[in-house]
Amino acid sequence: MTVRLKLLSAAVAACLLGAQAQAQGLRLAPATGASSPANSATTSDFIVAVVNSEPLTNTEVQREVLRVQQQFALQRRPAPNLQRLNAELVEQLINQKVLLQYARDTGLKVEDLAIDQSEQSIAAQNQLTVAELRQRVTADGLTVAQFRAQLRDQILLQRLRERDLTPRVRVSESEIDAYLQAQKNTQDPSQMEINLAQVLIAVPETASAEQVQVLQAQASKVLARARAGEDFASLVRDFSAPSAQPNGGQLGLRSADRYPTSFVEATKLLAPGEVADLVRSPAGFHILKVVAKTSAGLPAMTMTQSRARHILLRPSAELNETQARARLLDFKKQLQAGQADFATLAREYSQDGSAAQGGDLGWASPGMFVPEFENALNQLAPGEISAPLLSRFGMHLIQLQERRQAKLSEAEQRRAVSALLREKKFEEAAQTWTQELRGRAYVELRQPPQ
């Protein structure tokens, strides 16, 4: 099985130029049958470039070439031009080395515990043990040491991004106002996104006029029940054609121009939760309910919120990271055995402002916690307790209490738009920042041996 590690190697530098580099977002995928560059008879090693005093080798470049080619194969996309791909990856790898060197020279470090945690997260997300993950990595031509070195680099680049790049990106209130107004003013249906749910009363092609009349009467009764507030998913289950039943009849959030014109016309004046008049199509009679409606340029107006609590131990001279982790593991065992109460332990031991509330962090929207904490939280089921987690604040033990769907308040909508605009600005800022660092580095490109 070939390991597909999102954002590793050259991809990390590319992500720093416009995406979110998080070790916890890694995934494994099936192999495509390509051989490792280290084992290829057509690959020889030589120095492609020197970045300050560090060499970039052909083996490193070809490993990235193989990775990209396999991604294209998995996605069933045409293979990129090899010469152009090679040149682009050389540039990405040079930029990556520049960024990593700068991070180390300015004092950023990654502790082994953070790498262990990242490795465990990747294994858990792929339903593997760490030992099984390492077997997969080894089968893909990497040593465990090389794999962990890649994880270290990825975490280091993420921390560099948070320290040096994120503070450069600012979004003003006037920019948020202008964006919201522009989205409200758009009348282009292709810029609207709608999620509709439907009950389809199917009409056979060979139906007689009398049969059509009977089916229309049935559809009208279902429409009345839907408008009376009856559970729509139950109506879908009881009356809809089998082909229209998945996902409670929901068709999914998509741009309006990807819906039949008759659906858009019937629902264009409706608010979420309202049900349209009957729509007739060659398939039958449609009872349509508006689940969500928003401008394509705006973030969703509802979000999944989580309520969690935690116990935080801050490593110190008296309690190092290993000891803090061991103590939290002991707490977890007590909690799972019913021998302790989470709130009581938090009040007694947590070194956080939430300790007085039994570690309760209240309802939180996406983006309110640091990435490593939020990623761990997102993997928990209600009531579940995480493994000890290291963040920049210390060592956490997290319990997810419950989740809910919440409509965004005006202030939350503005924060969501701010995050959207910040992400858009981030790519430009990242490119400028990387160019500045690249301009201060010594880079020597070398020709392959003849």
| Phi, psi values for residue 254, rounded to 5° | -150, 165
- By three-state DSSP, how is residue 435 classified? helix
Question: Region 421-450: what's the mean pLDDT?
Answer: 88
* Alpha-carbon span 180 to 297, nearest angstrom: 9
Residue 295 — very low, low, confident or very high, per pLDDT cuts 50/70/90?
low
Residue 198's pLDDT is what?
92
Sheet holding 360-364, edge to edge: 360-364, 302-313, 394-407, 389-391
In whole angstroms, give the CA distance from residue 430 to residue 166. 9
Can you tell me the distance from the alpha carbon of 350 to that of 342, in angstroms, rounded to the nearest whole number? 10
pLDDT tens string 346-386 = 999 999 999 999 999 999 887 788 888 888 888 888 899 99
Average pLDDT across the chain, whole number = 82
In this model, does residue 446 exceed pLDDT 80?
A: yes
Could you tell me the pTM of the whole model?
A: 0.52
The closest of 322, 228, 326, 317 to 275, measured between CA atoms, is 228
Q: What is the pLDDT of residues 211-259, one digit of tens each?
A: 999 999 999 999 999 999 887 877 888 888 776 666 678 887 787 878 8
> Scanning the structure block, which residue is given the tokens 């121009």?
257
pLDDT band at 37; cut points 50, 70, 90: very low
* pLDDT for position 52: 93
On the 0-12 / 13-18 / 19+ scale of CB atoms within 10 A, 340 is middle
pLDDT at 147: 92
What H or E segment, with its residue span, contains residue 70?
A: helix 58-74
Domains and CATH numbers, the chain: 10-168 (1.10.4030.10), 189-295 (3.10.50.40), 302-407 (3.10.50.40)
Is pLDDT at 42 greater than 60 in this prediction? Answer: no
What does the pLDDT read at residue 252? 78
12-30 residue pLDDT tens: 334 333 333 333 333 344 4
Amino acid at 28: L
- Tell me which residue has tokens 């990825």: 154
d(C-alpha 67, C-alpha 36), whole Å: 9
Asked if 119 contacts 148 with a C-beta cutoff of 8 angstroms, the reply is yes
The whole-angstrom separation of Cα 233 and Cα 240 is 10
